[in-house]
Amino acid sequence: MLDPAQVTMTETTIDKAAHKTPVAMARRIRGLSDRAIAWWFVGPTIILLLAVNIFPLIWTIYLSFTNFKANRPNRDIKYVGLRNYERLLTDTDTWIAMQATAHFLFWTIFFQVLIGFTLAWLINKKFKGNDLWTTIIVLPMMLSPAVVGNFWKFLYQPQIGFFNYVVTWFTGAESSSFEMLGSVNLAPWSIVIVDTWMWTPFVMLICLAGLRSIPDYIYEAAVIDRASKWRQFWTITLPMVLPFLMLAILFRGIENFKMFDLVVQLTGGGPGSTTELASINLKREAFEKWRTGYSSAFAIILFVTVFGLASIYVKALNKVKER
Partner 1 sequence: MKLKSFLAASTMSVVALFSSSAAQSEELTLCWAAWDPANALVELSKDFEGKSGHTMEFEFVPWPNFADRMLNELNSGGKLCDLLIGDSQWIGGGAENGHYVKLNDFFDKEKISMDDFAPATVYAYSTWPKGTPNYYALPAMGDANGWFYRKDWFAREDIRSAFKEKTGRELGEPKTQKEMLEIAQFFQGREIDGKKVYGAAIFTERGSEGITMGVTSALYPWGFKYENTPGKYDMEGAVNSAAAVEALEFYKEFYKTATPPGYTNSYMGESLDAFKSGQVAMAMNWFAFFPGLYADPNTGGDKIDFFVNPPQNVAGSTLGGQGISVVSYSDKKDAALEYIKWFADPKIQAQWWKLGGYSAHNSVLQDPGFKASQPFAGDFLVAMEGVQDFWQEPAYAELLIAMQKRVHDYVVADKGTAKEALDALIKDWTEVFEDEGKL
* Minimum distance of partner 1 from residue 54's CB (angstroms): 23
250 to 269, contacts with partner 1 by CB under 8 A?
264, 267-269
CA 300 to chain centre: 18
**SS3 of 66, please?**
strand
CA 282 – CA 276 distance, rounded (Å): 10
CA 281 – CA 97 distance, rounded (Å): 7
Mutual angle of helices 187-212 and 238-257, in 10-degree steps: 140
* Minimum distance of partner 1 from residue 71's CB (angstroms): 4
Maximum distance among all Cα pairs of the chain, rounded to whole angstroms: 90
The residue within the footprint of partner 1, chosen from 16, 72, 212, 321 (CB under 8 A), is: 72
Q: Does 273 bind partner 1 (CB under 8 A)?
A: yes
139 to 168, contacts with partner 1 by CB under 8 A?
156-159
The residue within the footprint of partner 1, chosen from 204, 248, 291, 300 (CB under 8 A), is: 291
Residues with Cβ within 8 Å of 321's Cβ and at least 6 positions away in sequence, in order, are 243
User: In the stretch 190-229, what mask flags binding to partner 1 with x, by CB under 8 A?
Assistant: ----------------------------------------
The residue within the footprint of partner 1, chosen from 18, 184, 304, 312 (CB under 8 A), is: 184
CA 21 – CA 24 distance, rounded (Å): 8
Mutual angle of helices 187-212 and 92-123, in 10-degree steps: 40
Among the listed ranges 6-14, 70-78, 211-219, 227-235, the one in contact with partner 1 (CB under 8 A) is 70-78
* Minimum distance of partner 1 from residue 111's CB (angstroms): 24
* Minimum distance of partner 1 from residue 272's CB (angstroms): 3
Q: Are 109 and 253 in contact (CB under 8 A)?
A: yes
Binding residues vs partner 1 (CB under 8 A): 67, 70-74, 93, 156-159, 176-177, 179, 181-182, 184, 264, 267-274, 284, 287-291
